[in-house]
Amino acid sequence: MDEISNDSAPQDAQESNNQDATLTVEASQETASQDAAPVPAESGARLKITQIKSVNGRLPVHRRTVRALGLKRIGRSVVHNDAPAVRGMINQVGYLLKVEEVR
């Protein structure tokens, strides 16, 4: 009789460990979905970015940001998807740019 109860005890422990693991996986999936970056109101929104001022005499990090946006000269324009990373770059060097939403 002791053997029967001993055999069932490890199975119960394994079942509870499996349930704990399942709960942990479900909790991590819920957290991951909550941490996802917000999607712009229109997923197909595009931004036309035009350089209107020179980068001469500006901070080196601002020069690199303008270059990373794909701009080389005053008056040149590029079109980018409306994404949080692009918005952050625009916020940093917005005083050098003109931004328009393109449909």
**Domain check: are 31 and 51 in the same one?**
no
Indicate if the pLDDT at residue 2 is higher than 90: no
Query: Is 56 a domain residue?
Result: yes
41 found inside a domain: no
Number of domains in the chain: 2
Segments forming the whole domain that contains residue 68: 46-102
Nearest CA to 85 among 38, 52, 48?
38
User: Residues 75-95: pLDDT tens digits?
Assistant: 999 999 999 999 999 999 999
Q: Which pLDDT value is given to residue 32?
A: 46
- 80-97 burial, b at 16+ Cβ within 10 Å, e below that, comes to bebeeebeebbebbeebb
Tens digits of per-residue pLDDT, 12-65? 555 555 555 555 545 445 544 444 444 445 567 999 999 999 999 999 999 999
- This prediction's pTM: 0.58
Residue that has been written with the tokens 């917000």 in this structure: 38
